[in-house]
Chains A and B, each alone.
Chain A
Amino acid sequence: MKKIVDGRGLACPQPVIRTKNALEEGKFSELEVIVDNKPASQNVQRFAENMGNTVTEILQKAGNYHVIIKTDSKVVEKIEKNKPKISCPDAKIIFISSNILGKGSQELGALLMKSFLYTLTQLQCKPKKLILMNSGVKLAVQGSEALANLQTLQKDLQILVCGTCLDYFGLKDKLAVGSVSNMYEIAENLTGPDKVLTL
């Protein structure tokens, strides 16, 4: 028996979640997932394969991608076992060493940073920790445009803020989110087992 999941017009990671739900329901031998963009088809393929299924083909029809999945009867068990985990890669530490993102325009950099932090709040797979250093600490103090986003993120992850840097900028009593940290803790985190992404 065949089942069809229509993931067209859905934002990432919805097509993957719908595929997961369909695979959990089971009761078919072949699942066809329709999505309207290539990255989504690849995400669905990766998810299905990670769960032990076989993707027999990806057909391109009228600008859509049809991912054909042959299911494995053991899959349902596997998914049940892994239920709390969504297929997120190992969570990273993000080291933010400036209040602006990238080099070039100060104005653009500040907006990109704010917009990046907002986007993190929307991600299914969030990083594990944010470490703020040098002017990066300015993001976490009263009056910061990015404060609301960091406060939302703090519900899911740890925010470490360089105490020396707060002191240098005279912002020690203005810290509004995260916990004050020191070079020892920061260095341990950067050299520890987790992957670090530096901005």
Chain B
Amino acid sequence: MTEYVITFASSHQAIKANTRLHRFVEIIPTPRQISSECGFSLLTKKWDLPELKENLSKQQLQYAKIYIVKKDMEGNINYEENS
């Protein structure tokens, strides 16, 4: 299943989202390659993109961006911004 990283504008928003979605997400330090205002991000592999967006909006969670986690042939991880 595809992995997604969700970034936030503040730690409080990230913590709130983690509390509401904690059975479906993992709280991680924001990956180095992603610039974000907040050091915490959420990682999920339990939902596809529409489900993820639906759950974020259902819980009225504010987030900054969603990134799709992609691994290349050499095993390097890239984060592709979802627009």
Q: Do A and B bind each other?
A: yes
Chain A residues with a Cβ under 8 A of chain B: 9-12, 14, 107-108, 111, 114-115, 118-119, 145, 148
Bound CA span A114–B11, Å: 15
Q: In the bound complex, do residue B32 and residue A12 qualify as a contact, i.e. CB atoms below 8 Å apart?
A: yes
Cβ-neighbour of B77 out of A11, A115, A145, A148 (below 8 A): A11
Contact partners of A9 in chain B: CB under 8 A: 33, 78
Bound CA span A114–B78, Å: 23
Bound CA span A148–B32, Å: 22
Interface of A is mostly: helix
Contact partners of A10 in chain B: CB under 8 A: 76
Give B46-83 as 1s and 0s: 1 = Cβ < 8 Å from A's Cβ atoms: 00000000000000000000000000000011100000
Specify which of A9, A10, A12 lies most central, judged by the most chain B CB atoms within 10 Å of its CB: A10
Bound CA span A119–B28, Å: 7
Contact partners of B31 in chain A: CB under 8 A: 11
Closest Cβ of chain B to A5, distance in Å, is: 13
Contact partners of A118 in chain B: CB under 8 A: 26-29
On chain B, the number of residues with a Cβ less than 8 Å from chain A's Cβ atoms is: 15
B21 at the interface (CB under 8 A from A): no
B8 at the interface (CB under 8 A from A): no
Q: In the bound complex, do residue A11 and residue B76 qualify as a contact, i.e. CB atoms below 8 Å apart?
A: yes
Q: In the bound complex, do residue B27 and residue A111 qualify as a contact, i.e. CB atoms below 8 Å apart?
A: yes
B4 at the interface (CB under 8 A from A): no
Contact partners of B11 in chain A: CB under 8 A: 108
Known: A10-B76, A11-B76, A14-B76. A108 touches B26 (CB 8 A): no
B9 at the interface (CB under 8 A from A): no
Closest Cβ of chain B to A36, distance in Å, is: 10
In the complex, which residue of chain B has the Cβ closest to the Cβ of A111?
Answer: B27
Bound CA span A118–B76, Å: 18
Known: A111-B27, A111-B40, A145-B22. A11 touches B15 (CB 8 A): no
List 9 A-B pairs, minimum CB-CB distance, nearest first.
A11-B32, A115-B29, A118-B28, A111-B27, A11-B33, A115-B27, A119-B29, A14-B76, A115-B28
Contact partners of A145 in chain B: CB under 8 A: 22
B7 at the interface (CB under 8 A from A): no
Contact partners of B22 in chain A: CB under 8 A: 145
Q: In the bound complex, do residue A114 and residue B77 qualify as a contact, i.e. CB atoms below 8 Å apart?
A: no
Bound CA span A148–B23, Å: 12
Closest Cβ of chain B to A101, distance in Å, is: 12
Q: In the bound complex, do residue A111 and residue B33 qualify as a contact, i.e. CB atoms below 8 Å apart?
A: no
In the complex, which residue of chain A has the Cβ closest to the Cβ of B22?
Answer: A145
B44 at the interface (CB under 8 A from A): no
Cβ-neighbour of B15 out of A12, A111, A148 (below 8 A): A111
Bound CA span A37–B22, Å: 34
